[in-house]
Amino acid sequence: MKMFVKKIMKTTINLFTSIALLLATINSTAQNRVSIDNETSTLNWTGKKVLGEHTGTIKLANSFIVLDEKGVKNGEINIEMTSITNTDMEGEWSDKLVGHLKSADFFDTEKHPNATFTINEVIHKSETLHLASGILTIKGISNPLSFPIQIKNTDSMMEITGLAEVDRTLYDVKYGSASFFDSLGDKAINNLFELNFDLKVKRK
């Protein structure tokens, strides 16, 4: 009787082990982590103020998305804040703006060289229109963020585009904000800034 029970237990354990391995294999097959091409992808920023706006670029590094049978499932976008540039001015004025953006008044890139957007969920609204939701971390401060994205597929590439509006004051970037400082007049800077992105994933 004891031998029979031992055989049943061993058979049951082997069965559960086989099922677990099968599920792990299926999950691995169904989900595919792919790298975002840093060289061809772009991330552009726009900051607006009372008397105009400034624009520039920021580089990406070691970013990826995870694909399943429905498309993009989740992922992580790593942003090199130290690479921030200005594109609407030249020379000394451009250098001064970039230096100010890197300073503690804004993104304090010496202490916080990277920002991250962790994609937790993508809701597929149509074949091309989707809603990405996740956590944006800037200066070590994390807040939820959602925005629409468009996804285009070709034989050689997947392209993910969209525009996210970010409230900088949620990340302790309060310089020039009329929400925190009085009598700024035409020197006030909008709390919201825009991140316009074009992410490209090459198909193998």
Give the pLDDT band of residue 8 (cuts 50, 70, 90): low
Given a cut of 80, whether residue 151 has pLDDT beyond it is yes
Q: Looking at residue 16, what is its pLDDT?
A: 47
Query: What is the pLDDT averaged over residues 100-108?
Result: 98
Query: What is the pLDDT averaged over residues 54-62?
Result: 97
Binning the chain into helix, strand and coil, the percentages to the nearest 5 are: 25, 45, 30
Query: What is the pLDDT averaged over residues 55-68?
Result: 97
Given a cut of 90, whether residue 196 has pLDDT beyond it is yes
Given a cut of 60, whether residue 133 has pLDDT beyond it is yes
Query: Which residue reads 């991140």 in tokens?
Result: 195
* Ranges of each domain in the chain: 32-202
Q: Looking at residue 203, what is its pLDDT?
A: 79
Query: What is the pLDDT averaged over residues 141-154?
Result: 97
Given a cut of 90, whether residue 39 has pLDDT beyond it is yes
Query: What is the pLDDT averaged over residues 19-31?
Result: 46
For residue range 163-179, list pLDDT tens digits in order: 999 999 999 999 999 99
Q: Is the pTM of this model over 0.85?
A: no
Query: What is the pLDDT averaged over residues 61-79?
Result: 96
Residues of the chain above pLDDT 70, percent: 85
Q: Looking at residue 10, what is its pLDDT?
A: 58
Domain 32-202: assigned CATH number: 2.40.128.110
